[in-house]
Amino acid sequence: MVPSQPSFLRRIGPRGGLRDNAQVGSVENIVIAKRTGVCYGVREAIDKAKIASASGKDTHTLGHVVHNEGLIADLRARGIKNVDHLDEVASGTAVVIRAHGVTPEVLGRAAERGLEVIDGTCTWVTQEHRELARLVEEGYDIVLLGTPNHPEVVGLLGFAPNAILVDEEEDWAFIPRRKRMALITQSTQPPWKFERLAAFLVSRCHELKVINTVCPVTIRRQEDTIAVAREVQLMIVVGGTRSANTKELTRLCEIGGTHAVQIESAQGLTDPDLFANIHTVGITGGTSTPIEDLERVALRIAELGGTDHVRTNAASIARAALEAAATPQYRTTSITNNTPA
Ligand code: SF4
């Protein structure tokens, strides 16, 4: 017969449930990847919306400017409304274009409706628009590497409606042979995929022009995520379920042999068994994930899976992980609640 455990070995677990001593956590070290937090493109769009609203404008965003519930709620609390179509916005009000950008037709419609357009298109994406327009003018057959229906891709196709859109490798065999081809990509596509497609296209045409528009922020984030994943036993990847760059981070960790779990926020971590026999945990986040959210996730990991020492000092350990990753100030927004426009 297995004797029942003495009460002093029993602990209060998450959600008030009892955990027995066998489940006392093993996590000793928590590392947040460097160069995480909201990317500059998303941050600028958020800031533009906040400035417009703070200056008294009736402000709308055309689609959510960020894939993060906390930041969306903050914008809503500031009176900034989200709409999916321009028709939902009254003439004369302000509309913020998100970092993904839009087609020239959408900008034209906004002008016709008499809306004040506040362009939050990321400068990197604006550069993609210019490159596409130039390739069209130069008469290239354009291959665009991107995820169908992704808002950035929808916007890009507005500048090159005849571009051949491809995503996964199985699509590539259907790319026709042409004399002069140009390759360009959605900003958050993985660099390895872009390089492989470029190599593939060499056999498809006589002249190939390659415009590398993979965003450097994405590349650096992937590098830092891989670096952390190599050092830990488990990775927690924080970002929206629809976020392509977040999914890619998860995939890269797994390819490197480190199990990765993707969550939207700290609330997504509920099972202490996830950390059973795990001593080191890494955290990374997508380009819409505020760095403050990564600290909350570190805190949650410490509380759920930490050793006695880590649990007792969970808050300071989470803060130390954040500070080791980056200076936290102004990584998400430079507009505080008290900052006048
Ligand atoms: S990921 Fe890069 S291209 Fe996309 S919004 Fe952020 S900074 Fe701009």
Specify if 192 maps to a domain.
yes
> In terms of domains, do 221 and 321 share one?
yes
Residues 244 and 190 in one domain: no
- Note down the domain range covering 190: 124-214
DSSP secondary structure code for residue 27 in this structure: B
CA distances from 128 to 58, 218, 332 (A): 30, 15, 24
Give the pLDDT band (50/70/90) at residue 9: very low
Judgement on whether residues 31 and 95 belong to the same structural domain of the protein: no
State percent of the chain over pLDDT 70: 89
For residue 290, the CA-to-ligand 1 centroid distance in Å is 14
| CA-based nearest residue to 119, from 142, 100, 139 | 100
Say how many Å lie between the CA of residue 109 and the centre of ligand 1: 25
Same domain, 23 and 65: no
Give the global pTM.
Answer: 0.83
Q: How confident is the model at residue 23 (pLDDT cuts 50, 70, 90)?
A: low
Which of 16-25, 49-58, 183-192 shows the lowest mean pLDDT across its residues?
A: 16-25
Residue 188 Cα: closest atom of ligand 1: 1
In a domain, 331, yes or no: no
Over range 38-67, report the average pLDDT: 94
Residues designated catalytic: 152
340 in any annotated domain: no
Please state the domain count of the chain.
Answer: 3
Residue minimizing CA distance to atom 2 of ligand 1: 215
User: Which of 158-162, 196-200, 292-296 is the least confident region?
Assistant: 292-296
Q: Which long-range contacts (CB under 8 A, 24 or more apart) does 111-118 make?
A: 113/86, 113/89, 115/86, 115/89, 115/91, 116/57, 116/92, 118/48, 118/49, 118/52, 118/59, 118/94
Asked if residue 258 and residue 187 are part of one domain, the reply reads: no
Q: How far apart are CA 319 and CA 187, in angstroms?
A: 31
Report which ligand 1 atom has the smallest distance to the Cα of 125.
Answer: 3
Classify residue 1: in a domain, yes or no: no
Distance CA 118, CA 210 (A): 31
- Please provide the DSSP assignment of 306-336 as one string: B-HHHHHTHHHHHHHHHHHH---TTSS-S--
Band the pLDDT of 125: cuts 50, 70, 90: very high
* The domain boundary residue, chosen from 186, 214, 242: 214
Q: What is the pLDDT of residue 7?
A: 33
Q: How far is the CA of 172 from the centre of ligand 1 (A)?
A: 25
The string of pLDDT tens digits covering residues 87-100 is 999 999 999 999 99
Do residues 223 and 308 both lie within one domain?
A: yes
User: What CATH number is attached to the domain comprising 224?
Assistant: 3.40.1010.20
Domain boundary among 90, 116, 142: 116
Residues 275-318: tens digit of each pLDDT = 999 999 999 999 989 888 999 999 999 999 999 999 999 999 99
Any domain includes 236:
yes
Binding site membership of 40 for ligand 1 (Cβ less than 6 Å): yes
Residue 75: inside a domain: yes
